[in-house]
Amino acid sequence: MTEAHQQVPGDNPAYFCGPTPPNQQLFEIEEFIIAPNPPEIDHRFFGYLRGIAPDVPNLNDTSLRISIQKGDEETRDYEDKLVKWHQIIIRHNSQYGHELKPGQIEILADYVIFGWFVETDNYTFTAEAKLPDGRVLFCFQSSIFLKGEN
């Protein structure tokens, strides 16, 4: 298996991606879980990412870009500071909040993919977190077949 196709540790369909090799990404991923795996249309799914965040300047200003591509169509990107995503909660030292701090952290998210928005096809989802200076905290993606109502 090449580095470009190295699976992210845990129960998930994700692989590391992007131009930064996994061993050079700054967030040390210990486990990434998606439940259910794979996500199902019209059912809540959960993401759990546990790892070690680096002690670097402006960590709390990290941006998260979620990209979605249906089949061979144009990719749609959604980007904001990681701490501003309403679907995401960060746990540091057993305390829940919206602040990204160095050390052992857990990032928890939940979401529902509504079937009436989805056309049946293969979808590629990419999550890329970057510091303001452009260094990559993590980048992973997965391809999932979704059966929609359209």
- Residue 7 DSSP one-character state: B
pLDDT tens by residue, 62-74: 999 999 999 999 9
From residue 109, give the alpha-carbon distance in Å to each of 5, 75, 122. Answer: 24, 22, 22
Task: Note the pLDDT of residue 76.
Answer: 96
Q: Please provide the CATH number assigned to the domain covering 3-146.
A: 2.60.40.770
Report the residue count for the chain. Answer: 150
Task: Note the pLDDT of residue 2.
Answer: 43
pLDDT tens by residue, 25-40: 999 999 999 999 999 9
Q: Is 124 left (phi over 0), alpha (psi -120 to 50) or beta?
A: beta
Spell out the domain ranges in the chain.
3-146
Task: Read off the pLDDT of each residue in 116-133 and give the average, rounded to a whole number.
Answer: 95
Taking the model in full, what pTM does it have? 0.91
How big, in percent rounded to 5, are the helix, strand and coil portions of the chain? 10, 50, 40
Task: Note the pLDDT of residue 1.
Answer: 39
